[in-house]
Each structure stands twice: as structure tokens, then as C-alpha cells.
């Protein structure tokens, strides 16, 4: 099987293609709701983006600094990535844009992005707590800054780097722990000068401002965060063997694979290669008996979106799995720590939350299941609990399947093709 294109890379490909000179062709783009919102926003600011009949997207970019003021509010739907990256883009243009999104996005913290962008000269007027809707007026002459990100966030890092494209001189981001580096890799792919050096406490990333980005072709690999769902389903369901082709295996994204292997998973990579500056592989996974493990906080950035489905796997394992350093889960599409705990408890799983640590007591057997899960506008909570339902003693129900389309269109058809029985039920 294959899973849809990587969400992080899809947003970045649309943005950088729109800021480059010439026509870029993007294959394998994730055509999920989140990414389509970013495409619409770039279109509203003057780039030309079109999907060919073959599914390849052509983008005619306007060049750095060439975006026009959008007539309408930029509605980023459910997408934190689209929202924060686009704030960085607008910050380096002499335009004003109004940003909003769905109820989930309007609850999420944006000050973490507004703060460094203000230092670069942008002006942001936001609701209480720095929340959407907000208005952002970019800087006519953005200033390069050196910025140490206070929270591990690839979105904040990327927003500053994207704004730095419009600033003269070097913009530097220092991150205490390495987060996904798709922006750094893709900026280079489009011709920017980005250097990364290891520091005693993290990484220093420097972008040379005002480059001429050149149009480039890019093939988006499968999203490891989407692959996580069929992978865990295969591990939990006796007799399973699944091969997922062409998945991105950037080491800053594969913390879940390392953790599952430590738990005893039969999970192997084959056919490893590099394309467009990103490592890719096929993943072969077989049903395995899992044991509980300790997951260190340092690993969290490399598997930040995978905790819902890891917690599901942990519920089936032998013994306790303790996951540390989960503070950021509170500010994702939902409060994921709360949603995981509530959902697992409803399915008969014993667990404890203490500060930013989650401990799940694995029963070495399928949990009861049988619960109705509140998905809280969160696609990954929805998919994680459907996977739990596939392997639990009784099926689970989720209150909203629509959100899955933000990151994994076709999830139900694909899982049913592997033998799942996911179907709509009358409300
Ligand atoms: C993403 C970064 C992460 C991740 C999100 C995608 C990105 O968010 O959770 O799904 O594409 O940069 P944070 O930057 O908030 O950690």
C-alpha cells in the first residue's frame, strides 16, 4: 500500500514554489483539506497553482517579496502548519492579511510566531492570548534576527526562516532540540543558502536573506505520520503483514519507529533512497507481541504527532509504557493528552497522567473498546481510536470522521482494503 503525501512537505512545497521564479512541478502532493487551504492562500496572494489531470501540481511563483495583498480573510481551516508558515511569509511582505480558521485553530497559540515576527518588523493584532482571528501587516523592510525558539516547534522555526527570506543579511534560528528539518532541506532544494551547525545545546540554522529562489520539481514522499496508523494496526492484529511503499524516513520524524522497535515490533525499512533531499524507504511491518517501554522526552519532537497512536499500541502491550515530555500535546489540534487519556479510559485502559508524562498500563491483551470517542476536531485522535477499535474486543465509535480528510483522505477505504470494517453509523 501507499499512504498520502507528507503534510509538512506539501505545505512547504506549495509555499516555496509560490516564492520561486518560474514553474515548479510538485508530484505526490497531499490533497488533504489542510494543504488545499495553503494552496488557496498562496493563490489569493498572487501565485498561480494548478492541478494537472495527472495529479501533478504546477506552481508559477512570483518571486520573493512578490506576493500581493489578499482581498479576503485567509482561512486556514484546521491547519496550524499552514497558519504559522504563512504568517512568516506575510511578515516579509508589505501587505496586510487577516488570518482565521476553524474552532480548533482559533484556540491555538499564535503568540509564539507573532513574537519573533514582530521583532523582524511585522505588526500583529490578535485576540486575547495571541489567538486567531488576527491581522498581520508585514514589514516593508524586514530585519534579520537571531532567534532562540523557546519551545521545540518546527512551525515557529519555519515561520522565522520564511520571513528571513525577505530580510537582508543572515537570519538565524537556534533550537534547543532538533525538530523536523523539512524547511531547511527544501529551502536548499529551491536554491537558498542554509547552513546548520550543531551547538552544545541544539542546532543553529542560518539562512542568507534575499536569495533568488529557483523553481524546482519535488516529489512528496508518503507521510510517516499517516503510515503510523496502518503500521500500528498491523502490529496489533494477528496475522497481519503490511508493506508501505515510499514513506519519508527523515530521522527527525521516525521516533515512533524507534519506539515500536524497542517495544518488540517487527518493523523494517527496505529500498532506502534519497529524493529531493529527503530520505525515503519502504516499510515492512508484521504483527508482533509488544512490551511496555520508557519513551524519553528528548525523543518527543521526532514523534510529536504519533503519541495518540503510540498510546493505543501501548494499551495492548505487556507492561507499562511511560511517555515523557508531552507538554506540546496540550496545544495541538486538540488537547491531545486529555483526549488520549479520556478515550483510552473509556475503552477500559488503565493509565495515569502526571504533569507532562503519560503512563499507559498495557494488559498484554486487547482492551474492552466499545466506547464512543469525542474527536475534538482532531484527525489523529479520530484515526488512533479507529485503529484501537480494529483490534479491541468491541468496536469503537468516533463522533466525527470528517476531520480525517485534513491529513489522510482515503483513510477509511485504505484501511478497509486491508481488512478493517469501518463504516458510518446512524447518529
Ligand atoms: C509541523 C510541526 C509540528 C507538528 C505538525 C507539523 C510542521 O508542530 O505537530 O503536525 O510541519 O512544521 P509544532 O511546530 O507545533 O511542533
Check whether 141 has a pLDDT greater than 80.
yes
Q: Kindly indicate the confidence band of residue 290, based on its pLDDT and cuts at 50, 70 and 90.
A: very high
- Would you say how long the chain is, in residues? 427
C-alpha 7 to ligand 1 mean position (Å): 10
**How high is the mean pLDDT of the chain?**
98
Mind listing the pLDDT tens digit for each residue in 52-107?
999 999 999 999 999 999 999 999 999 999 999 999 999 999 999 999 999 999 99
Q: Mutate which of 85, 105, 150, 180 to test ligand 1's pocket (most atoms within 8 Å of Cβ)?
A: 180
State mean pLDDT over 195-224.
96
Cis peptide before 338 (omega within 30 of 0): no
Q: For the segment 112-139, what is each residue's pLDDT rounded down to a tens digit?
A: 999 999 999 999 999 998 999 999 999 9
Determine the Cα–Cα distance for residues 295 and 303; give it in Å rounded to an integer.
10
Do the beta carbons of residue 224 and residue 260 sit within 8 Å? Answer: no
Region 2-24 average pLDDT: 98
Whether the CB of 158 sits within 6 Å of ligand 1: yes
**Pocket probe mutation, ligand 1, options 83, 154, 303, max atoms within 8 Å of Cβ:** 154
Cα(81) to centroid(ligand 1), Å: 6
| 304 in contact with ligand 1, CB cutoff 6 A | yes
Q: How far is the CA of 224 from the centre of ligand 1 (A)?
A: 13
Q: Which of 353, 359, 388 is nearest to 373 (CA)?
A: 388
Among this protein's residues, is 71 annotated catalytic? no
Residue 326 in contact with ligand 1 by CB distance below 6 A: no
Averaged pLDDT, 322-332: 98
| Host H or E run for residue 382 | helix 379-391
The runs of H, that is alpha helices, within 27-78 are 33-44
- Percent residues over pLDDT 70 in the chain: 100
**Does residue 39 surpass a pLDDT of 90?**
yes
pLDDT given at position 201 = 82
**Residue bearing cell 486575547:** 128
* Active-site residue identified among 305, 335, 356, 378: 305
- The atom of ligand 1 lying closest to the CA of 85 is 12
Residue 372 has pLDDT above 80, yes or no: yes
Mutate to test the pocket of ligand 1, among 10, 80, 248 (most ligand atoms within 8 A of CB): 80
Torsion of CA 335, 341, 344, 350, to 10 degrees: 170
Query: If you measure from the C-alpha of residue 193 to the centroid of ligand 1, how many angstroms do you get, rounded to a whole number?
Result: 23
Per-residue pLDDT, 126: 98
Burial class (CB in 10 A: 0-12, 13-18, 19+), 350: middle
As a whole number, mean pLDDT of residues 353-359 equals: 98
pLDDT at position 45 over 90: yes
Over residues 301-306, the mean pLDDT reads 98
Query: Contact, 170 vs 206, CB < 8 A?
Result: yes
For residue 213, give the DSSP letter.
P
Q: pLDDT band at residue 281, thresholds of 50, 70 and 90?
A: very high
Task: Name the band, by pLDDT with cuts 50, 70 and 90, for residue 49.
Answer: very high
C-alpha cell at 354: 502526571
CA of 240 to the centre of ligand 1 (A): 31
- Average pLDDT value for residue range 252-278: 98
Considering just the CA atoms, what is the radius of gyration of the chain in Å?
A: 21
What percentage of residues in the chain have a pLDDT greater than 90?
Answer: 98
Which one, of 89, 21, 14, lies nearest residue 58 by Cα? 14
The residue written with cell numbers 479507529 in the block is 386
Residue 426 pLDDT:
79
**Using the 8-state DSSP alphabet, how is residue 253 labeled?**
T
Whether 305 is in the pocket of ligand 1, judged by its Cβ within 6 Å, is yes
Rounded to the nearest 10 degrees, the angle between the axes of helix 336-346 and helix 379-391 is 20
Upper half-sphere CA count for residue 412 (Cβ side, 13 Å):
13
Ligand 1 center–CA 105 separation, angstroms = 13
pLDDT at 200: 85
* pLDDT number for residue 59: 98
CA-closest residue to ligand 1 atom 10: 305
Residue 427 has pLDDT above 80, yes or no: no
| Ligand 1 atom closest to the CA of 180, numbered from 1 | 12
- Residue pLDDT, tens place only, 201-211: 889 999 999 99
Report the candidate in 207, 209, 249, 212 with the shortest Cα–Cα distance to residue 228.
249
* Cα 383 to middle of ligand 1, angstroms: 18
CA-to-CA distance for 346 and 342, rounded, in angstroms? 6
Pocket test for ligand 1, best of 176, 252, 304, 332 (most atoms within 8 A of CB): 304
Ligand 1 atom with least separation from CA of 158: 12
Mean pLDDT of 44-58: 98
Q: Which residues contact 355 (CB under 8 A, 6 or more apart)?
A: none
Amino acid at each position: 500500500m501507499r499512504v498520502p503525501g507528507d503534510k509538512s512537505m506539501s505545505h512547504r512545497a506549495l509555499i516555496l514554489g509560490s516564492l520561486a521564479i518560474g514553474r515548479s512541478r510538485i508530484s505526490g502532493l497531499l490533497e488533504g483539506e489542510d494543504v488545499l487551504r495553503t494552496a488557496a492562500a498562496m493563490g489569493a496572494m498572487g501565485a498561480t497553482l494548478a492541478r494537472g489531470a495527472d495529479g501533478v501540481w504546477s506552481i508559477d511563483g512570483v518571486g520573493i517579496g512578490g506576493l500581493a495583498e489578499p482581498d479576503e480573510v485567509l482561512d486556514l481551516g484546521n491547519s496550524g502548519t499552514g497558519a504559522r508558515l504563512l504568517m512568516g511569509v506575510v511578515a516579509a511582505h508589505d501587505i496586510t492579511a487577516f488570518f482565521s480558521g476553524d474552532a480548533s485553530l482559533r484556540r491555538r497559540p499564535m503568540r509564539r510566531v507573532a513574537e519573533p515576527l514582530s521583532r523582524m518588523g511585522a505588526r500583529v493584532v490578535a485576540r486575547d492570548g495571541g489567538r486567531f482571528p488576527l491581522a498581520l501587516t508585514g514589514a516593508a523592510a524586514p530585519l534579520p534576527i537571531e532567534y532562540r525558539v523557546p519551545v521545540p516547534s518546527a512551525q515557529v522555526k519555519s515561520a522565522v526562516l520564511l520571513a528571513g527570506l525577505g530580510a537582508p543579511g543572515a537570519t538565524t534560528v537556534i533550537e534547543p532540540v532538533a525538530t523536523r528539518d523539512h524547511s531547511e532541506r527544501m529551502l536548499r532544494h529551491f536554491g537558498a543558502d542554509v547552513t546548520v551547525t550543531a551547538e552544545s545545546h541544539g542546532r543553529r540554522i542560518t539562512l542568507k536573506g534575499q536569495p533568488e529562489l529557483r523553481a524546482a520539481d519535488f516529489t512528496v514522499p508518503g507521510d510517516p505520520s499517516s503510515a503510523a496508523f496502518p503500521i500500528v494496526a498491523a502490529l496489533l492484529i494477528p496475522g497481519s503483514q503490511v508493506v508501505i511503499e515510499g514513506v519519508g524516513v527523515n530521522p527527525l520524524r521516525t521516533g515512533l519507529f524507534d519506539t515500536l522497535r524497542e517495544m518488540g515490533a517487527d518493523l523494517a525499512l527496505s529500498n532506502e533512497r534519497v529524493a529531493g533531499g529527503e530520505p525515503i524507504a519502504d516499510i515492512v511491518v508484521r504483527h508482533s507481541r509488544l512490551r511496555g517501554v520508557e519513551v524519553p522526552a528528548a525523543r518527543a519532537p521526532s514523534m510529536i504527532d504519533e503519541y495518540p497512536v503510540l498510546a493505543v499500541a501501548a494499551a495492548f502491550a505487556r507492561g507499562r509504557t511511560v511517555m515523557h515530555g508531552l507538554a506540546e500535546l496540550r496545544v495541538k489540534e486538540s488537547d491531545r493528552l486529555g483526549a488520549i487519556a479520556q478515550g483510552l479510559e473509556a475503552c477500559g485502559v488503565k493509565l495515569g497522567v502526571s504533569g507532562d508524562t503519560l503512563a499507559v498500563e498495557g494488559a498484554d491483551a486487547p482492551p474492552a473498546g466499545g466506547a464512543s470517542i469525542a474527536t475534538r476536531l482532531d484527525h489523529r485522535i479520530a484515526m488512533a481510536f479507529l485503529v484501537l477499535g480494529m483490534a479491541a474486543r468491541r468496536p469503537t465509535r468516533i463522533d466525527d470522521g470528517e476531520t480525517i480528510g485534513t491529513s489522510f483522505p482515503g483513510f477509511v477505504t485504505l484501511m478497509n482494503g486491508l481488512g478493517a470494517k469501518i463504516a458510518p453509523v446512524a447518529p
